[in-house]
Amino acid sequence: MYYFVSLLIGILVAVMITVNGGLTSVYGVYAATVIIHIIGLILIGGIILVRREKPFAKRLPWYLYIGGVLGVATTASTNFAFGKISVSAILAINLFGQAVAGALVDQFGLFGMRKHPFRAYQIPGILLVIGGIGWMMGGGFVLWPVLAVFGSGVLLVISRSYNSRLADETSMYISTFFNYFCGLLTALPIFFLFATHEPIWLGFVLAPNWWTYLGGAIGVATVWLSNVVVVKIPQLYITLLMFVGQVFTGVLIDALMDGALSTANIIGGTLVATGLALNLLFERRASRRLTAARNAFEE
């Protein structure tokens, strides 16, 4: 079940990026980010009221609430890149950012997470991942969108870590609530400071497609589901399954939007998936050898 949920999260993320991109084209990057957080907050706030949970009843260290603040940057970054590089490239580069940040978190136990030191057997898989990302990018390397999406992947790992810790201290619903509550408090001043030239100031109009407003609701589902699976199955399995869902859904979305199926994206996505699968295989073998050695020592 949890493996399927991880795959579903990846599919939802790919859809969310596309939906949020459509909203951005109507209102602008910063305005769309505010709207996304308002819709998400209304949804999770309603759920909190129905469940009669009290999000403000317990005081916790301030840094546990930073996940929502960082979420604003991740949303704005992918919104900025949408239309400048393909959806599949956005997903692949974001994944690479997550992989780099995740490796550092695992190596040094950052943000209160458990240590998982880097091993030499991970190198071939990482090289395949890099090759796949390069293949998906092709000749369409655009510096600032690429850097923005890479940074969003790094911030996503940090945000997920703190959201998970907050969920441990409260509940998955309260953690999701604060993700959007703190995110909205961050997005609003940024909007008023930097969005003076965005289309929304010319007059508020409804987006032509109603589904472009669903990004906030989809985001609530992804944050909540991530809190569910992160304590149930290994992070490596989650990353692999989310990637499979994200990239190949992104390939399908690109095909629907551009009217053609991208062979480069399929090949690149397969290389990345193969690299991650290879690391997973080596990780499992190393884990089995360690378990066997421990059992032999105890006997």
Q: What is the pLDDT of residue 178?
A: 94
Per residue in 19-56, pLDDT (tens digit) is: 888 888 888 888 998 999 999 999 999 999 999 999 99
What's the mean pLDDT when you consider all of the chain?
Answer: 82
Percent of the chain topping pLDDT 70: 89
The model carries a pTM of 0.78
Q: How many residues does the chain have?
A: 299
Over 90: is that where the pLDDT of 143 sits?
no
Percent of the chain whose predicted confidence (pLDDT) is above 90: 19
- Residue 184 sits in which domain range? 2-298
> Confidence band (pLDDT; 50, 70, 90) for 231?
low
Give the number of other CB atoms < 10 A from CB of residue 113: 17
| Residue 78 identity | T
Burial call 166-199: b when 16+ CB within 10 Å, e when fewer: bbeebbbbbbbbbbbbbbbebbbebbeeebeebb
∠ CA(175), CA(178), CA(179), 5° rounding?
85
- Sorted by sequence, the CB contacts under 8 Å of residue 130 that are 6+ apart come out as 96
pLDDT grade, residue 165 (50/70/90)?
Answer: confident
Task: For residue range 84-123, list pLDDT tens digits in order.
Answer: 877 667 777 887 788 788 778 777 877 776 676 777 777 8
Joined together, the tokens standing for residue 148 give 């923005």
What is the number of domains present in the chain? 1
